[in-house]
A = this chain, B = another copy of it.
Amino acid sequence: MNVTFLQSVFQYDGELMPNDRFLHWIGERRAAVKVEIEQRRFDQLQKWGFNPETGNLEHESGRFFSIEGIRVRTNWGLVETWTQPIINQPEIGFLGIITKRFNGILYFLMQAKIEPGNINYVQLSPTLQATKSNYSKVHQGKSPLYLEYFTGEKPATVSLDQLQSEQGARFLKKRNRNIILEVTGDVPVHEDFCWLTLGQIKKLMGQDNLINMDTRTVISGISFGTFPLESIELFRQFVQPSVGSGDDGKRMLLSALDDKRSRSSIEEIISWITGLKSKYELEVSRIPLNGVGKWVKTDTEIHHEDHKYFSVIGAQVHVSNREVTSWSQPLVKSAQEGLIAFIIRNIGGVMHFLVQAKIEAGNFDILELAPTVQCLTGNYRKGQSEYEVPFIQTVLEAPEDKILFKTMQSEEGGRFYREQNLNMIVEVGEEFPVDVPENFQWMTLNQLYAFIRFNNYLNIQARSLLAAVAF
């Protein structure tokens, strides 16, 4: 399977839907839909309301998600204890992509999907986004398209199937099941769907707000195998396209495919994680939303008394394309845009990523591996932040030719209101110290892929940014 993925990632354009045609196609999809979002008072939301006992914001069916409270206690950072609202969505989501070989090349079946919170409404999503109830057919309603491949009713081979986390600062221990299937038989291509290579998807991440978060998390789980040096050299000479060739391309390819030339061994990295998980405590208890201090509930929003972090608003959504639909729902609105960045550096001829062990309240297991820099914009305006953000100046002051990747990427448009974060990958030179603070670690791509396979090691921001890495 690894080689099939590798072949597909080397295809920066695709025969079934060439890049030029794709941009026209997605433009058409966007033109074909009209979305209106109006902010509403909470008491105007249909089927949503505050629980009289707890103050939690809930759907009348008890389904979907709710806004609840948590009390956090930790010995990490400067603030020892706080309360905050959090999204509780205990149901596991299913994010699935169908793949199929055409002329030997693996293509991914992608969907132009509307989500109300998206800045541009339509982004490219996995073949299937379903809830566990959809998946297990608890409800008798209309099935999502292509569900039958994921339930085993139609034949398919599983290439990847992982449980992965969502934003730990916003969701309470939420996880999604990320699946990639390979199908050999005919697959109907419904309207709003198209076939793209893995290389195309990664290339399209170079555009702002096009590849949605669910797509990014699913493709971030793809690893490309481990090969001996001679095979990697062979790939480089004969297979790797010119885009990533030269010494830079070699360093990145080695980083992905070699498991011998890393600064730290996997055992050392596990020991580093074990040490930090033993040192830091994170105690999270669920509390009623009306027990959350320092947050204010008005008729129209729930916000922090200093208007920091995020707020919860009520929205009325109207979508019209082939049919017209309309519904109410709460959306989470970030107080500022954020910055998500990896610093990378050549160490011994292999590209290494500077990873941060980060504690967030909703984390499943205390800490997850995060990008070098992950913060709200407010945190790096001097004097406005409760803590320093290490390495932020290196990212913000990087010269143009050292910025390998820089785009705006959206968070999930089903929960978040027009939230986008600046995603960057910045290369540093020999002058950048190899010795880093205790909660940072240099890792190769091959090592990052090894950890991604197992539950809850890399956070969604790290995975999202790694999804962009091509070689």
Contact = CB atoms under 8 A, between A and B. Distances in A.
A454 B454 CA distance: 7
Interface stretch (A269-277, A307-315, A397-405): A269-277
Given A132-B278, A455-B365, A1 B163 contact: no
B163 A267 contact: no
Interface in A141-180: 158-163, 177
A278 B92 contact: yes
Contacts of A160: 267, 271
Interface in A343-372: 364-365
A163 to B, nearest CB: 5
Nearest to A285: B286
Contacts of A455: 277, 365
Given A1-B267, A267-B1, A365-B364, A163 B454 contact: no
A268 interface: yes
A270 B161 CA distance: 7
A119 interface: no
A203 interface: no
Nearest to A277: B163
B278 A163 contact: yes
Interface string A235-275: 00000000000000000000000000000001110110011
Contact of A177 (B90, B94, B274): B274
Contacts of A136: 279
A158 B268 contact: yes
Given A266-B453, A453-B266, A454-B454, A162 B274 contact: yes
Contact of A161 (B158, B275, B454, B456): B275
A428 to B, nearest CB: 28
A121 to B, nearest CB: 30
Contacts of A275: 161
A136 B94 CA distance: 42
Interface in A52-107: 90, 92, 94
Contacts of A161: 267, 270-271, 274-275
Contacts of A365: 364-365, 455-456
A160 B266 CA distance: 10
Given A92-B278, A177-B278, A453 B163 contact: no
Given A177-B278, A278-B177, A271 B158 contact: yes
Nearest to A265: B1
A275 to B, nearest CB: 7
A132 B177 CA distance: 35
Interface string A215-251: 0000000000000000000000000000000000000
A92 B279 CA distance: 9
Nearest to A176: B278
Nearest to A365: B455
A160 B365 CA distance: 20
Interface in A107-163: 132, 136, 158-163
Contacts of A94: 278
Contacts of A364: 365
Contacts of A454: 270, 454, 457
A145 B246 CA distance: 55
A97 to B, nearest CB: 14
A274 B277 CA distance: 23
A299 to B, nearest CB: 33
Nearest to A177: B278
Interface in A302-327: none
A227 to B, nearest CB: 14
11 contacts: A1-B267, A92-B278, A136-B279, A158-B267, A161-B267, A161-B271, A162-B274, A163-B274, A270-B454, A277-B455, A364-B365
Q: Which 7 A-B pairs rank lowest in CB-CB distance, beginning with the nearest?
A: A161-B271, A454-B454, A161-B274, A177-B278, A92-B278, A158-B271, A163-B274
Given A136-B279, A159-B267, A163-B278, 13 more contacts: A1-B267, A90-B281, A132-B278, A158-B268, A158-B271, A160-B267, A161-B274, A162-B270, A163-B277, A177-B274, A267-B453, A270-B454, A365-B456
